[in-house]
Structure 1
Amino acid sequence: MIVAGVGGRSGVSADEIEQVVRMALDMFELPAARLSAFATESAKAADPAFVEAARRISVPLRACTLDELDRVAGRVLTPSKLVLETKGVPSIAEASALVVAGRNARLLGTRVATACATCAIAIGDGR
């Protein structure tokens, strides 16, 4: 299972989310067709921009609770001080990718960022 974990500032557009996901896929030379899911924090999963970006890339959007993100906190590669201060967890993109990728999940590398969005790619055996 290959998962794109996505984070974004309030008001981020579907265009920017799609852009950061495609940047991450390009970095790891993966076609969008290989993606199994988008993953993000529960509150963001209801945001129309996240829903639309997942629709555009034709993958389901999976929501992760803050407790789930916290459980993988020690495995993220690039913790965010801002996310830690606002959400109480060190990562949205990397942690949500790890959570949804499931058993034996590992990040392919550090997250990719644009001005308002981040994306990390993880591979694993699924939830």
Structure 2
Amino acid sequence: MIVAGLGCRKGCSAEDVMSALDAACAEARISRISIAALATGEIKREEAGIIELAEKLGLPLHIVDDEALLEAEPRTRTVSRHSIAKTLSSSLSEAAALAAAGERSEIIVARLISNGATCALAEVKEPG
């Protein structure tokens, strides 16, 4: 299962967020239909572009609380000063993807930025 973690500047459109998602999918060499769910942090709960994208794609949107973001923190790869200042996580998109995908997940595409939006992909790794 692959989860796309999303972040964005305030007021980004669904198209802006989609461009970040598409960039991450291209980096992973996967189709957008491979994405099982979207995730973001509590701070982006009301962000219209993210909500609209989830509805447009027909994907569940997981809102990850700050505690879960911090638990996923050690597995993130990117350090964003802006993200730390706003969310206490070094990468909101990476931490949200990891938290939503679960404890056995890992980043397969580190945070990418496109049109003011960010996307990271996490995949659940099967044991053994």
TM-score computed with the length of structure 1 as normaliser: 0.92
Q: How does 1:106-125 map to 2 (within 5 A)?
A: 106-124=106-124
Conservation of the 8 A alpha-carbon contact between 1:32 and 1:57? no
User: Which residue number corresponds to residue 85 of structure 1?
Assistant: 85
| Number of equivalent positions | 125
Conservation of the 8 A alpha-carbon contact between 2:17 and 2:115? no
Between the aligned partners of 2:24 and 2:12, the Cα distance in structure 1 is: 17
Conservation of the 8 A alpha-carbon contact between 1:94 and 1:111? yes
User: Which residue number corresponds to residue 25 of structure 2?
Assistant: 25
Between the aligned partners of 2:67 and 2:3, the Cα distance in structure 1 is: 19
Conservation of the 8 A alpha-carbon contact between 1:17 and 1:50? yes
Deviation at 1:85, TM superposition (A): 1.3
Q: How does 1:36-51 map to 2 (within 5 A)?
A: 36-51=36-51
Conservation of the 8 A alpha-carbon contact between 1:40 and 1:64? yes
Gaps of at least 5 residues in structure 1 are none
Instruction: Indicate the SS of the match to 1:119.
Output: strand
Between the aligned partners of 2:80 and 2:87, the Cα distance in structure 1 is: 10
TM-score computed with the length of structure 2 as normaliser: 0.91
RMSD (Å), alpha carbons? 1.3
Question: Which structure has more strand as a fraction of its residues?
Answer: 2
Between the aligned partners of 2:91 and 2:5, the Cα distance in structure 1 is: 10
User: Which residue number corresponds to residue 96 of structure 1?
Assistant: 96
User: Which residue number corresponds to residue 71 of structure 2?
Assistant: 71
Conservation of the 8 A alpha-carbon contact between 1:45 and 1:62? no
